[in-house]
Copies of this chain bind each other. A is one copy, B any other.
Amino acid sequence: MLSKSEIKLITSLKQKKYRLQHQLFAAEGKKIILELLKSKLQLHQLFTTTLEFDVPDVLQTIITPKELNRISFLKTPNTALAVFKIPKPQPIDFSKLIVALDDVRDPGNLGTIIRLCDWFGVTDLVCNLETVECYNPKVIQATMGSITRVNVSYLNLESFLSSNKASQVFGAFMDGENMFEINLPSSGILVLGNEANGISKEVASQITQRISIPRFGELQATESLNVANAAAILLSEFKRRTATET
């Protein structure tokens, strides 16, 4: 049975303002919830229409499918919704490759990039303050559980880059140097920009190496690659170098 205040709290988590205020976020679907439960995340409360989770009774509320419908963020609600505490960001490890996002707005893109970071062993993702928040329900669904293995920090990206003079800063541009023809180290920062406008001028001024993914089509007419696809290709190439050159 769901109380009115629970419904109000959970549905409020659709908005960044309330997620930050309560320091809570929601995840839906058995598969993702099981992944999150396996991690260090702290469960606040689990709402389920079936009894299939191994969590203490006090943290588990059995609800009806109709109740789930009322709190779900999905068009077709699953069988469970879990509310977790937002973890504190961890210190950033500068000895490894870091991915930085400058104004990525689409939750699906951010979720996919988090999943890619996880795949390629990138543990730190830094985002400028305008990038979509990683505890947005759509991001959480798109990460498929990878959110638990990637440390996401929100910060002023320009200041972050300018204060880290030790790291080489790569930026993905349409007119950068061919990524296959330059040295790609095992540490450094790789910046990816906004879906429509790319990397902002302010952030671009902090970039030490502009790189691009070569286009092979004869007509050279494809306008650009989606930011998540660009991340996929660039991360694969960075990691190939580390793997083959050591």
Contact = CB atoms under 8 A, between A and B. Distances in A.
Interface string A88-127: 0000000000000000000000001001101111000000
Nearest to A233: B236
A243 to B, nearest CB: 7
A222 to B, nearest CB: 4
Interface residues of A, number: 36
A87 interface: no
A121 B217 contact: yes
A226 B142 CA distance: 10
A141 B112 CA distance: 20
Residue from A144, A221, A236, A237 with most neighbouring chain B CB atoms (10 Å): A236
A116 B149 contact: no
Contact of A240 (B118, B121, B180, B229): B180
Contacts of A217: 118-121, 149
- Copies of chain A in the complex: 2
Nearest to A221: B149
B180 A226 contact: no
A26 B230 CA distance: 28
Contacts of A116: 225, 229
B226 A112 contact: yes
A244 interface: yes
Interface string A206-239: 0000000111111101110110111011001101
A60 to B, nearest CB: 25
Given A144-B223, A236-B236, A120 B216 contact: yes
Given A180-B240, A233-B236, A237-B240, 16 more contacts: A115-B225, A118-B217, A120-B217, A121-B215, A144-B222, A145-B223, A149-B217, A149-B219, A149-B221, A149-B222, A180-B244, A216-B242, A225-B232, A228-B229, A233-B233, A236-B236
8 contacts: A112-B226, A116-B225, A118-B221, A149-B217, A149-B219, A149-B222, A180-B244, A236-B237
For the complex of A and B, list the 4 residue pairs with the smallest distance between their C-beta atoms, beginning with the closest. Answer: A121-B216, A229-B232, A121-B217, A119-B222
